[in-house]
């Protein structure tokens, strides 16, 4: 597997200050709380975890749509925080995001060809070149050419997502964050869009950070998978290794709730009990300890470090030896 770093983040944090009510003034929501990982050129890195664990915030930080509270991000080895406005503007085309809800991300008053052409207007491409690129993109995402003068509301959910994908690809980005790109679609359409996303990566040669709730989706398309819990990464490894040999009790619990087609693979179910604690008041020590079936006293007191256990397999758990 290629291991040339495209992106690296170092102790990345995003804490939101919110004031809610008289008694809980200035609460701090630790949406992302100290992430360390790399994304390698050409790979698909899947990110999974329950609602509210900080997946979208991570994606937005990586896209520079949010300013980090702390920590560093490197893109092709360059410290992104040293980029001035002009440099950031110039490099923005390398970063693109595909959203969960394509309807919300497409301008309802624009026709499809204008939606896809819009990002191209920031380049020095001629009008003819832009038209040719839009035509190619429509073909690549499977939207018939004669639909190009239609408005977003005239399309189905799956088609709208295809349009969102075409727009994201328009500038031939190096890095795409896909934030639950099929979660809002009918199950029957999901596989088509996933297959399209996989095919486009081969054709356009970019790198994915692919966020999903559904572990089975991520397993199918990811080279590596990271599991998040309460703003932290608790396990990260090559996809096959994670599914065959999950080390963190949280990953084990998530996996045991995924239906497995092969009967010989059925593991004992590990129930995931209790509510996810709030990121404005995370538990002491290991954030997973209140729900963990194997937690010991020290898990309540000490934050586990994110350690490499076998080559490329990282875990944050005191009990993994």
Ligand X SMILES: Nc1ncnc2c1ncn2[C@@H]1O[C@H](COP(=O)(O)OP(=O)(O)OP(=O)(O)O)[C@@H](O)[C@H]1O
Q: Which window, 44-52, 68-76, 117-125, 195-203, contacts ligand X (CB under 6 A)?
A: 44-52
Helices (H), the chain: 55-62, 85-91, 102-105, 112-117, 127-141, 157-169, 187-204, 215-221, 239-244, 249-256, 297-301
Beta bridge partners of 156: none
| Residue 104 found at the interface with ligand X (CB under 6 A) | no
| Residue 57 found at the interface with ligand X (CB under 6 A) | yes
- The interface partner of residue 196, options being Mg ion, ligand X, none and the CB cut-off 5 to 8 Å by kind, is none
| Residue 46 found at the interface with ligand X (CB under 6 A) | no
Listed residue (172, 179, 208, 309) closest to 251, CA to CA? 309
Spatial separation of the C-alpha atoms in residues 53 and 58, rounded to whole Å: 10
- The interface partner of residue 233, options being ligand X, Mg ion, none and the CB cut-off 5 to 8 Å by kind, is none
Tokens found for residue 157: 């959910």
Spatial strand order of the sheet with 24-40 comes to 24-40, 5-20, 70-75, 78-79
The single residue among 31, 98, 106, 163 that binds ligand X, judged by CB under 6 A, is 31
Query: Phi then psi for 75, rounded to 5 degrees?
Result: -120, 120
Spatial separation of the C-alpha atoms in residues 22 and 33, rounded to whole Å: 26
| Residue 57 found at the interface with Mg ion (CB under 5 A) | no
Contacting ligand X within 243-302 (CB under 6 A): 279
The single residue among 6, 45, 48, 54 that binds ligand X, judged by CB under 6 A, is 54
Instruction: Number of residues interacting with Mg ion: please give it, by CB under 5 A.
Output: 1
18 vs 294, which CB is nearer to ligand X?
A: 18
The single residue among 9, 13, 44, 56 that binds Mg ion, judged by CB under 5 A, is 56
Q: List interacting residues with ligand X (CB under 6 A).
A: 16, 18, 29, 31, 49, 51-57, 279
Q: List interacting residues with Mg ion (CB under 5 A).
A: 56
């Amino acid at each position: 597997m290629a291991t040339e770093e495209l992106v690296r983040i170092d102790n990345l944090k995003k804490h939101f200050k919110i004031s809610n009510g008289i008694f809980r003034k200035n609460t701090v929501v630790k949406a992302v709380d100290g992430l360390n990982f790399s994304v390698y050129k050409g790979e698909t890195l899947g990110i999974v975890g329950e609602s509210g664990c900080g997946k979208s915030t991570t994606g937005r930080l990586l896209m520079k749509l949010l300013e980090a509270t702390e920590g560093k991000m490197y893109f092709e080895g360059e410290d992104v925080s040293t980029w001035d406005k002009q440099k950031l503007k110039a490099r923005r085309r390398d970063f693109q995001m595909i959203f969960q809800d394509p309807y919300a991300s497409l301008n309802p008053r624009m026709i499809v060809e204008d939606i896809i052409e819009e990002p191209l207007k920031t380049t020095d491409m001629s009008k003819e070149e832009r038209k040719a690129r839009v035509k190619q993109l429509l073909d690549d995402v499977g939207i018939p050419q004669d639909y190009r003068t239609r408005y977003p509301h005239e399309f189905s959910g799956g088609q709208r997502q295809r349009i969102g994908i075409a727009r994201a690809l328009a500038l031939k980005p190096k890095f795409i964050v896909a934030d639950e790109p099929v979660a809002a679609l009918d199950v029957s359409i999901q596989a088509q869009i996933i297959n399209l996303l996989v095919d486009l990566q081969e054709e356009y040669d970019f790198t994915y950070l692919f966020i999903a709730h559904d572990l089975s989706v991520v397993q199918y398309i990811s080279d590596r998978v990271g599991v998040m819990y309460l703003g932290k990464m608790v396990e990260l490894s090559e996809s096959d290794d994670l599914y065959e040999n999950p080390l963190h009790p949280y990953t084990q619990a998530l996996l045991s709730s995924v239906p497995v087609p092969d009967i010989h693979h059925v593991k004992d179910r590990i129930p995931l009990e209790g509510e996810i604690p709030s990121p404005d008041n995370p538990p002491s020590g290991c954030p997973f300890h209140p729900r963990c079936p194997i937690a010991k006293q020290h898990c309540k007191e000490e934050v586990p470090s994110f350690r490499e256990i076998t080559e490329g397999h990282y875990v944050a758990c005191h009990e993994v030896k």
